[in-house]
Amino acid sequence: MAVRMVRGVLALTLAGVVGWLPVASGAREPLTAVSVAAAPRLDFTPQQMALALAVSDDADLASFYGSNGLRPIFLGPEGEARRLALRDAIGNAPRHGIPVARYQPDRLTATEGLAAEIAHAHALSRLLRDLTGGVLNPTRVDPEIKRQPVRTAVVPLLARFEAAADPAAVLAGAGPDHPAYLALQQALSGPADLVVPQSLPRIATGVWRPGQRATAIADLRTRLVAIGFAADAPDATLYDDALARAVSDYQRAAGLPDDGVAGPRTIAALNGDGGTGQDARQRAILVAMERMRWMASEDLDSRHVWVNIPEFSTTIVEDGAEVFRTRSVMGKDTPEMRTPEFSEMMANVVVNPSWNVPRSIAVRDYLPRLQANRHALSHLDVVDGAGRVLARDGIDFGRYSAASFPFRLRQKPSDDNALGVVKFIFPNPWNIYLHDTPSKHLFANRVRAESNGCIRIGDPVDLARALLSRQTDDPAAMFQRARDRERETWLKLTPPVPVHLVYFTAWPGPDGRIRLFDDIYGRDARIWEALQAQGFGAAAPAMVADLNPGL
């Protein structure tokens, strides 16, 4: 209450000086609409500027203007290039998937003097924050998103903008420039490469596969040709091998099982049914672009491990190119088991790992079995706080509850160890890591949300060798020597490798086409809801079309 009263007094004082009143709700009453270019260089004092900044409640702006002697940078002829650069950048905000209205463009032409300076400065500050760290705070959207964007310091960017001979270039370079972000931008504002013109004949429902002939197959081919996935053929009604490859390519791009058979889901997607239309696709792209802005400070061209949860894949990227890929199993869709999102440094490859059973599993799943039979689960050691293995005959498991159970359960290295022959450590508070598994059957599934939260790797030995390849001429031999020791052995990665656990339901494939994946945990839906609360419209195409807001 006291803070609001102080701000109110400052607002009234400022209103008497420059005719601009920030009200309690944050709305601002403009001055008369005159050209900013015609405004004098200085029609206010530094003291009035300081008061306006105090009321504006933007610490970055206060710091910037304090460092430049409270001089305006947007007013008069000297500020014309900056005004135009800012207005052009705001006009192009939809190319970043951000609505123009977020920056209150009418205030930039409907105010004069000090009010115009502050309006431009606010719009610039917000634009820079959005482009360099995202619109949202991800941890507030979903607590399972552990990512904290490292935002670029706004004050140095403001100083660069003021000093630049070409201020437009400073703003043009503010957003992410990673090829994936640029591909998402192109897909957002360019033609929808998965959306078939609805004027074409619909494909009849069925299951169409190689060797068949039907009119529906000709319609299938026509729709695929329209979006560049297939070529015309002498017999359009024949489901030949080339058409099967085209269907498989489309399925991969659309996030469908890529079996080359046109079943009900593939036909529904090509027909534009069931939420597979333009709006749903562009919402996924908008969310992906916001996620990329959260990662703007990460060096995604240098060597790193990339785990895309909805894609159920783990890759290694070097010099901006994918050099290794393997299928992966992610956490189940339950509050306790969903795999979180974060980035860390992988420091070690652990060969012949022991498995320390997570306490949640030990007390939920294993304690009741030990209470029924103390000799159950004989593959697990019972370990005390000092790390000593205890004899079970001396333990009355019935005395303990889930809350009071004082022991740990541990599985020794073995061929049937729950972690398999290798795990990959990147220390984090959630005890998440990558690991092998003796249960290989799940890797054949399309949807692989089956783990307790950690990431199971389809080709773990190959992943280990690939990670070790930078520090030895023979990574296979290095790994095998550790394996032959038949005890837990830690191989240090030099240097450590960044690991990014990410959640992209829209992502460019090797051919540049945007591929779509299921929102398995509902996180994208929550992000989209939060973006809507920030002024993002439900109809993405209309926003993208608004590239000339008339500034």
Alpha-carbon distance of 189 to 219, in angstroms, equals: 28
* Cα-based torsion angle of the residue sequence 286, 287, 288, 293 in order, rounded to the nearest 10 degrees: 90
Q: Poorest-confidence range of 75-84, 489-498, 541-550? A: 541-550
82-91, 252-261, 404-413: least confidently modelled range? 252-261
Task: Tell me 145's DSSP state.
Answer: B
Q: Are 349 and 382 found together in one domain?
A: no
The answer to whether the bond into 495 is cis (omega within 30° of 0) is yes
Q: Are residues 156 and 174 in the same domain?
A: yes
Secondary structure of 15-84 as H, E, C letters: HHHHCCCECCCCCECCCCCCCHHHCCCCCCCHHHHHHHHHHHCCHHHHHHHHHCCCCCCCCCHHHHHHHH
Least confident of 3-17, 81-95, 224-238, 468-482: 3-17
Catalytic residues: 435, 454
- The CA distance from 276 to 505, in Å, is 13
Sign of CA dihedral 77, 81, 87, 88: positive
Q: Are residues 449 and 386 in the same domain?
A: no
Does the residue 512 lie in any domain?
Answer: no
What per-residue confidence (pLDDT) applies to 22? 29
Can you point out the beta strands (E) in 389-541? 389-390, 408-411, 422-425, 434-435, 449-451, 455-457, 489-502, 506-508, 514-516
In 403-524, DSSP assigns E strands to 408-411, 422-425, 434-435, 449-451, 455-457, 489-502, 506-508, 514-516
Residues 339-366 as b or e (16 or more Cβ within 10 Å = b):
bbbbbbebbbbbbbbbbebbeeebbeeb
Mean pLDDT of 378-402: 92
Mean pLDDT on 298-312: 96
- Could you tell me if 492 and 486 are in contact, meaning their C-beta atoms sit under 8 angstroms apart? no
Give the torsion sign (CA, 288, 290, 294, 297). Answer: positive
The mean per-residue pLDDT over the stretch 519-527 comes to: 96
Same domain, yes or no: 48 and 150: yes
* Distances, alpha carbon 419 to alpha carbons 350, 352, 372, 427, 465, in Å: 10, 9, 26, 17, 17
For residues 284-300, give the mean pLDDT: 95
Distances in Å between the Cα of 327 and the Cα atoms of 123, 302, 428, 446, 463 are 44, 22, 23, 10, 11
- Asked if 330 and 385 sit in the same domain, the reply is no
Among the candidates 184, 207, 236, a domain finishes at: 184
Q: What is the pLDDT of residues 81-106, one digit of tens each?
A: 999 999 999 999 999 999 999 999 99
* 205-213 mean pLDDT: 93
Q: Is residue 455 domain-shared with residue 498, that is, in the same domain?
A: yes
Q: Considering 127, 160, 184, which residue would you say is the last residue of a domain?
A: 184
Backbone torsions φ then ψ of 33, nearest 5 degrees: -80, 100
In this prediction, residue 194 carries a pLDDT of: 72
Range of the domain at 334: 311-354+414-502
- Written as six digits, the tokens of 47 are 């003291």
Q: 537 lies in a domain?
A: no
Is pLDDT at 535 greater than 80 in this prediction? yes
Residue 513 maps to a domain: no
pLDDT at 254 over 50: yes
Q: Are 161 and 124 in contact (CB under 8 A)?
A: yes
| 40: Cβ contacts below 8 Å, ≥ 6 apart | 75, 76, 113
Which residue, 186, 207, 205, 215, is CA-closest to 274? 205
Strand locations in 406-522 (E): 408-411, 422-425, 434-435, 449-451, 455-457, 489-502, 506-508, 514-516
Instruction: Look at residue 133 in the predicted model and tell me its pLDDT.
Output: 94
The answer to whether residues 373 and 425 belong to one domain is no
The confidence band for 127, taking pLDDT boundaries of 50, 70 and 90, is very high
Q: Is residue 441 part of a domain?
A: yes
User: How many CA within 13 A on the CB side of residue 251?
Assistant: 20
List helix spans (H) across 173-240. 179-189, 215-226
The tokens of 426 are what?
């990147």
* CA separation, residue 177 to residues 292, 300, 358 (Å): 10, 10, 40
Task: Assess whether 253 and 360 both reside in one domain.
Answer: no
Band of residue 258 on the pLDDT scale cut at 50, 70, 90: confident
CATH number of the structural domain spanning residue 472 = 2.40.440.10
Tell me: pLDDT of 447 over 80.
yes
> How much is the average pLDDT of 218-247?
92
Q: What separation in angstroms does the CA of 94 have from each of 127, 193, 285? A: 12, 19, 12
The letter for the amino acid at 393 is D
The whole-number pLDDT of residue 277 equals: 54
Tokens representing 163 are: 């000093």
501 near 342, Cβ under 8 Å? yes
Pair (316, 465) in one structural domain = yes
Q: Do 81 and 210 sit in the same domain of this protein?
A: no
Q: Considering the entire predicted model, what is its pTM?
A: 0.81
Same domain? For 256 and 383 the reply is: no
pLDDT-derived band at 512 (thresholds 50, 70, 90) equals confident
Q: What's the rounded mean pLDDT across residues 11-15?
A: 34
- Does the pLDDT value for residue 547 go beyond 50? no
Greater confidence, 25 or 519?
Answer: 519
What average pLDDT does the segment 435-457 reach? 94
Q: Are 350 and 329 contacting, i.e. CB atoms less than 8 angstroms apart?
A: no
Same-domain status, 98 and 231: no
* 548 falls within a domain: no
CA–CA distance, 380 with 375 (Å, rounded to integer): 10
Q: Which range, 32-46, 357-371, 459-473, has the best average confidence (pLDDT)? A: 459-473
Cα angle at 324 between 444 and 483, to 5 degrees?
A: 80
Give yes or no for a contact between 413 and 488, defined as CB atoms under 8 angstroms apart: yes
Q: Which two tokens stand for residue 305?
A: 């491990």
pLDDT tens-digit series, residues 182-206: 999 988 876 566 778 888 999 998 9
Q: Which amino acid is at 436?
A: D
Domain count, the chain: 4
**Structural domain includes residue 153:** yes
Q: Render pLDDT for 128-171 as a digit per residue (tens, 0 to 9).
A: 999 999 999 999 999 999 999 888 889 999 999 999 999 999 99
In the Cβ-directed half-sphere of 89, how many Cα atoms lie within 13 Å?
28
* 525 occurs within a structural domain: no
Instruction: Answer yes or no: is pLDDT of 61 > 50.
Output: yes
- Domain assignment present for 449: yes
